[in-house]
Amino acid sequence: MTTLLSVKGLKKSFGGVTATDDVDLDVIKGELHAIIGPNGAGKTTLISQLSGAVKPDAGVIMLNGANITHKPAHTRARLGITRSFQITSLVMDMSVLDNVALAVQATDGHSFKFLKPARKIGHIRDKALAMLAEVGLAERAEDPTRNLSHGEHRQMELAIALASEAELMLLDEPMAGLGPEESATMVAYLKSLKGKRTILLIEHDMDAVFALADRISVLVYGKVIATGLPDDIRSNDAVRHAYLGEE
Amino acid sequence: MFVLKSGIPPLDTTLLFVQTLNGVQLGLLLFLVASGLTLVFGILDFVNLAHGSLYMLGAFICASLTFLVGNFLLAVLIALPITGVLGYLIERFVARPLYARDHLDHVLGTFGLILVLDTSVHLIWGPAGIAVPLPAWLEGQVGLFGDVVVPSFRLLIIAAGLAAAAGLFWLVNYTRLGMLIRAGASNRTMVSALGIDIQSLFALVFALGAMLAGLAGMLIAPITEASIGMGNNIIITAFVVIIVGGIGSMKGAFFAALLIGLIDTLGRAFLDDFFKLFMSSDAAENSAPALSAMLIYILMAVVLSVRPQGLFPPKVR
Amino acid sequence: MIGFSRSARINIGVMAILAILPVFFWWTGQTFYLSLATRLVILAIAAVSLNLILGYGGLISFGHAAYIGIGAYAVGIPAHHALYGGMDFIASNNGFFQIALAVVAAAVFALITGAICLRTKGVYFIMITMAFAQMVYYFFVSIEEYGGDDGLVIDTRSEFPLVNLDQPIVLFLVSYVVLVLAMWLVNAIVNSRFGMVLQSAKGNNDRTVTLGYNTYLYRLTAYVISGAMCGLAGALLGNFATFISPEMMDWSRSGELMFMVILGGTATALGPVLGAAVFVVVAQFLSELTIYWHLPFGLMLIAVVLFARGGLSGILRGKGS
């Protein structure tokens, strides 16, 4: 068991409101690690600090033993962290295929290449199409992104995360806003990824979390109050208290 | 310390004082223009390039009224509500339909408005500038101390500028309207959810900004005369002011306006003398004008490299 | 024309008219219209360059006229010194030298100011690009050697072997070729890998950064390319007008360039050219009617912003506005 991501003492507050409070977290290579917690527990802020979108006030973030605390977001992406967004975050004016191809292109050296048409570069296109096929969107490849449904957008987010070949995928509520059927499909996709990628998953859908996670951390008011196997978390008193108000 | 070359006269302190006063005067005029810009942007998220045209309109309307009623100060008092109404009309017919659009549409629409307003002034008042006569008691000079003498009208500009700044400060911080303005700037939906007529608030803010810019134009008109295009020069400097001060911040606009007024005035007055301390007279006279023309933009660049949000960024919206 | 899409046919058609009509004017001795067409083509080059960052990059630069000025002074200043002496290291009528100077000076100015501007977003960016352009304006106003406010007469046009820019039709044809090359280059860039990143950053910067792209560097590169291209347009404009003054880079000139791009339709190959064409022709037509032509012109501008989004090329292609 090697630790892929290690977070120590991570702190962030916004104008007096503490969003993450001394968070320690280890993500082991290959696991699907879920983070749960009530609304406002600071889950998205945590992800944003890991991806580099938000700078922490204090603490250290290590990836594969290297300190990345002060690396900008684009460098972290190159080092192998990708994230999906809670609110769908795609380039709506571009086609579905272009969106995914950009993620593939990012893994193919720098993009300061000015003259060759990007849409005619076979290996990038093929790989992007393969990723779309994997999430079941192959037929929508040439459609403008804005024409797709919300569920399809979530699938696109996943295809982009896959295409980036990132070692660590930070998934922020991939099931948000999906109907029961779409959720089931998404759970199946994620399940098929287990073992191939390391995933840090934020999710409100407890059925999905307990079906998927190898380990679970519980975040309440910016603090990690428990980390453990799903069964341990289910029976943890502090967690029950935080969620259900039980004494 | 620089070693003084022989033959260079020591700095003339009287001149320094007078130029500092001129710098403060320019700064206060800039503040009057910039405060309206920053108010409108902070609350309405609207970029109004035509704000300088209101400065020009204020000057022309005041000029005509001065001839009509025969008294400059009375003309100012009548011209102020008129520029306010013009501001309201601009808000109603050009700005309001653009609020929901992006900044690009704001700048293009108001750029068109500048062409319309400049040409309208050309049509109404003709191509030449209009000199504005002052009452006799404002024409003279006032001895301050020693041999320092300043035109009394310039002191009036400074007094009026400070009074307007104080009034604005009071309005924003201690009145119900000011409370709404501050609330509207930080949380627009909340204000409308509380049942405040946000539409009227916006119109009021726009008209207030127009009056402030108009006042600046009226105050400068007796010195420079009212002329077409006068607004298009000051608007860029006002932009520099609110960029340096922090867009949306009234306090920032005030301090940045004074800073830029002083730097610009003193730079133009003394930079060549300063350069002569360490370079030849010829070189100083060649390079100083070019550099002093760029001084405030260089200041802007430096401030932005250190603090991209300006010196006094407003609280999180 | 089988094999071409509707939009490609429109592009070829418009560009063909733009080539043939001025040659016809020249043939029939209508020099006035030939010179109007030359100005149109040169402004179109500037608009095409602006479209790269404005249309495809989403960067609202309100200071593009500065590059026109820099380019034109890069012709005027060496020519001035070649005639009157002084500053031997740049005194020259050599066209290649002047063009290189125009492009490099514009690129360097874009690099320095862009590095600062691009750290900011939204309305800051608009105002700062505007302020830096005004800085160049006041810089040239303050230099008396080059005429200050009054501007500088360019006594000798750029000299090239075999190509004589003193002949109006030659100047037109050179400008036209530059326009076609500029359109080709921008088209190639926006469809390249670089262009995909640039457009993605416009659509969703956070996402693009998250994919691992340093969007700041991509934007800065586009900003420099655009500035250099516009500097070239400025060098041509200097040769066309044989005169350069700070007024040519007043911020209202920048506004006009922006208007051309919006009027024609952003992020399209032909849009800036159409926009420049309509702008130049309508301005010419109105200014012949009345000295107050800015009034209807301004009203037209407001109307376009309020009612005709998507620009002329949107209308031509039958897309709703």
DSSP for C191-248, written as a single string: HBHHHHHHHHHHH-HHHHHHTT--HHHHHHHHHHHHHHHHHHHHHHHHHHHSEE-GGG
Nearest-angstrom CA–CA distance, C32 and C73: 25
pLDDT score for C321: 33
Length of chain A: 247
C288 CB-near residues (< 8 Å, 6+ apart): none
Nearest-angstrom CA–CA distance, C75 and C103: 11
pLDDT score for A241: 78
pLDDT interval class at C242 (50, 70, 90):
very high
pLDDT in tens, C254-286: 999 999 998 888 888 899 999 999 999 999 999
Nearest by CB: C119 against B98, B122, B304: B304
3-state secondary structure A117-139: EHHHCHHHHHHHHHHHHHCCCHH
Closest chain A residue by Cα to residue C191? A117
Contacts of C298 in chain B (CB under 8 A): 112-117, 119
Between B195 and A204, residue with greater pLDDT: A204
Nearest-angstrom CA–CA distance, C277 and C14: 10
Between C300 and B285, residue with greater pLDDT: C300
Q: Which residues of B241-266 are buried (b: 16+ CB within 10 A; e: fewer)?
A: bbbbbbbbbbebbbbbbbbbbbbbbb
Determine the residue among B92, B98, B106, B119 to mutate to test chain C binding: the one whose Cβ has the most chain C Cβ atoms within 10 Å. B119
Strand partners, A198: A168
Among residues A187, A163, A212, which one has the least CA distance to residue A31? A212
Average pLDDT (A10-32) is 88
**Where are the domains positioned within chain B?**
25-306
- What is the H or E stretch that residue A11 is in? strand A3-14
pLDDT score for B9: 55
Determine the residue among C193, C196, C209, C224 to mutate to test chain A binding: the one whose Cβ has the most chain A Cβ atoms within 10 Å. C193
Asked if A93 reaches chain C (Cβ–Cβ under 8 Å), the answer is yes
With a pLDDT cut of 90, the percent of chain C lying above it is 60
pLDDT in tens, A97-136: 999 999 999 888 788 888 888 888 889 999 999 989 988 8
Token reading at B131: 């000199």
Judged by CB atoms closer than 8 Å, whether chains meet at C298 and B114 is answered as yes
Judged by CB atoms closer than 8 Å, whether chains meet at C141 and B112 is answered as no
How high is the ipTM of this complex? 0.85
Determine the residue among A50, A82, A111 to mutate to test chain C binding: the one whose Cβ has the most chain C Cβ atoms within 10 Å. A111
Per-chain mean pLDDT for chain A: 87
Average pLDDT (C164-174) is 93
With a pLDDT cut of 70, the percent of chain C lying above it is 95
pLDDT score for B270: 85
Token reading at A169: 């995928």
DSSP for chain B reads -PPPPTTPPPP-HHHHHHHHHHHHHHHHHHHHHHHHHHHHHHHH----TTHHHHHHHHHHHHHHHHHHHS-HHHHHHHHHHHHHHHHHHHIIIIIGGGTTS-HHHHHHHHHHHHHHHHHHHHHHH-SS-B--PPPHHHHSEEEEETTEEEEHHHHHHHHHHHHHHHHHHHHHHHSHHHHHHHHHHH-HHHHHHTT--HHHHHHHHHHHHHHHHHHHHHHHHHHH-B-TTHHHHHHHHHHHHHHHH-TT-HHHHHHHHHHHHHHHHHHHHHHHHHHHTTS-HHHHHHHHHHHHHHHHHHHHHHHHHH-TT-SSPPPP-
Backbone angles phi, psi at A228, to 5 degrees: 175, -175
**The listed CATH number (1.10.287, 1.10.10, 1.10.3470, 2.60.40) that belongs to domain B25-306:** 1.10.3470
Closest chain C residue by Cα to residue A162? C211
pLDDT interval class at C252 (50, 70, 90):
confident
Asked if C282 reaches chain B (Cβ–Cβ under 8 Å), the answer is no
**What is the sign of the dihedral through the CA atoms of C304, C309, C314 and C319?**
negative
pLDDT score for B29: 93
Judged by CB atoms closer than 8 Å, whether chains meet at A116 and C192 is answered as yes
Closest chain A residue by Cα to residue C220? A112
pLDDT at C193 over 50: yes
Between A86 and A230, residue with greater pLDDT: A230
Backbone angles phi, psi at A59, to 5 degrees: 115, 170
Q: Among the listed ranges A84-88, A199-203, B151-155, C227-231, which one has the minimum average pLDDT value?
A: A84-88
Helix, coil or strand: residue C53: helix
B223 CB-near residues (< 8 Å, 6+ apart): B153, B154
pLDDT in tens, B6-65: 445 556 777 888 889 899 999 999 999 999 898 888 778 888 899 999 999 999 999 999
Judged by CB atoms closer than 8 Å, whether chains meet at B239 and C127 is answered as yes
Q: Among the listed ranges B280-284, C131-135, C168-172, C186-190, which one has the minimum average pLDDT value?
A: B280-284
B118 CB-near residues (< 8 Å, 6+ apart): B53, B56, B228, B229, B232, C294
pLDDT score for B6: 47
pLDDT score for C274: 93
Nearest-angstrom CA–CA distance, B182 and B43: 8
Q: What is the pLDDT along chain B (317 residues), one digit of tens a residue?
A: 344 444 455 567 778 888 898 999 999 999 999 998 988 887 788 888 999 999 999 999 999 999 999 889 999 999 999 999 999 999 998 888 888 888 888 888 999 999 999 999 999 999 888 988 888 777 877 777 777 778 888 888 999 989 988 998 898 888 888 887 777 666 666 666 666 677 888 888 899 999 999 999 999 999 988 999 899 889 999 999 999 998 878 889 999 999 999 999 998 888 888 888 777 777 777 778 888 888 999 998 888 888 888 888 876 44
Nearest by CB: B236 against C139, C251, C262: C251
Going along chain C from its start, the domains and CATH numbers come out as 6-316 (1.10.3470)
Nearest-angstrom CA–CA distance, A143 and A90: 13
Number of CB atoms found within 10 A of residue B47's CB? 27
Nearest-angstrom CA–CA distance, C64 and C130: 8
pLDDT score for C3: 64
- B123 half-sphere exposure, CB direction, 13 A CA radius: 13
DSSP for C250-305 reads SHHHHHHHHHHHHHH-TT-SSHHHHHHHHHHHHHHHHHHH-TTTHHHHHHHHHHHH
**Where are the domains positioned within chain A?**
1-80+166-247, 87-165
pLDDT interval class at C310 (50, 70, 90):
low
pLDDT in tens, C10-58: 888 889 899 899 899 989 988 899 999 999 999 999 999 999 999 999 9
Radius of gyration, alpha carbons of chain A: 18
Judged by CB atoms closer than 8 Å, whether chains meet at B116 and C294 is answered as yes
pLDDT at A88 over 80: no
With a pLDDT cut of 70, the percent of chain A lying above it is 98
Nearest-angstrom CA–CA distance, C56 and B310: 28
Asked if B239 reaches chain C (Cβ–Cβ under 8 Å), the answer is yes
Nearest by CB: C294 against B47, B115, B300: B115
Q: Among the listed ranges A11-20, C192-201, C206-215, which one has the minimum average pLDDT value?
A: A11-20
Judged by CB atoms closer than 8 Å, whether chains meet at C194 and A119 is answered as no
pLDDT at A42 over 90: no
Among residues A200, A96, A112, A104, which one has the least CA distance to residue A147? A96
Token reading at C144: 């008396």
Nearest-angstrom CA–CA distance, C231 and C109: 10
pLDDT score for B2: 44
pLDDT score for B13: 78
* Superfamily, domain A1-80+166-247: P-loop containing nucleotide triphosphate hydrolases (3.40.50.300)
Among residues B162, B122, B156, which one has the least CA distance to residue B141? B156
pLDDT score for B97: 87
- B151 half-sphere exposure, CB direction, 13 A CA radius: 14
